[in-house]
Amino acid sequence: MLKLGVNIDHVATIREARYHGKPAGEPDPVEAALVCEGAGAHGITVHLREDRRHIQDRDVIRLREVIKTRLNLEMANAPEIVGIALKVKPDIVCLVPERRQELTTEGGLDAAGQTAALTETRKKMNGAGIDVSLFIDPDARQVEASAAVGAQFIELHTGAFGERFHDEEERSVEVARLVVAARQAHHLGLKVNAGHGLNYENVSALGSVPHLVELNIGHSIVSRAVVVGLGQAVREMLQLLQRFP
């Protein structure tokens, strides 16, 4: 079965809107993670950004202590964050590009242009028993570079797919790109995850993408939770994923 990783960053976004700089506040992303697990989520994803705009260090530490599934830490390849990851030891890290001025992660990592630096970090993580994923666009050059880095996973950036979903022709083009990239990655020995811009309307269109292990979905689930509750929002997404081959 295709796995669901729930990104709880935006639970922390709501908290930080009122309690930024405070040692506690509501809603608690750790509590949210436990609800997601209870509803059947296969893992929890958080992005510890350098500017700490939502998830805080204490959240990552506490999540590592309490969740029972899998902790996926999204992070820039920055020395401070690398050091935190090596101390906390999530199950997997996903290296992503990061810019202070962006609202959320925009585009995939340039693995081909940073092979040496990424390989160094990959070795550190693997040496600590942490799997490594690279968040990349569905591009042959980036997939090849990810294999050269020695990553265990890639996460295909589905942002372009999400943006073009309502144009049938453009959607077909983006799905085809994802299919080709997933096949290439599998051939090179990489496991394949995907995420960004996925929601209850468009996720089923990824059913033709082969070799997918996990989808990481956050904003849409947190948004849906405002209306139906977090547990129900997770269960509804899991029902959609059950239709995948």
10 is catalytic: no
Residue 86 burial (C-beta neighbours within 10 Å; 0-12, 13-18, 19+)? middle
Residue 166 burial (C-beta neighbours within 10 Å; 0-12, 13-18, 19+)? exposed
Catalytic member of 42, 47, 54, 157: 47
> CB-hemisphere CA count at 13 Å for 194?
29
47 is catalytic: yes
Residue 219 burial (C-beta neighbours within 10 Å; 0-12, 13-18, 19+)? middle
74 is catalytic: yes
Tell me how far apart the alpha carbons of residues 240 and 1 are, in angstroms, rounded to a whole number: 11
Catalytic member of 37, 74, 98, 174: 74
Concatenating the DSSP letter of every residue in 93-118 gives: EEE----TT-SS--S---GGGSHHHH
Decide: 217 and 5 in contact? Cβ < 8 Å: yes
Tell me how far apart the 2 most distant CA atoms of the chain are, in Å: 49
Decide: 57 and 84 in contact? Cβ < 8 Å: yes
Alpha carbon distances (Å) from 240 to 53, 146, 221: 31, 29, 12
Number of residues written out for the chain: 245
Give residue for tokens 């700490």. Answer: 52
Residues forming the active site: 47, 74, 196
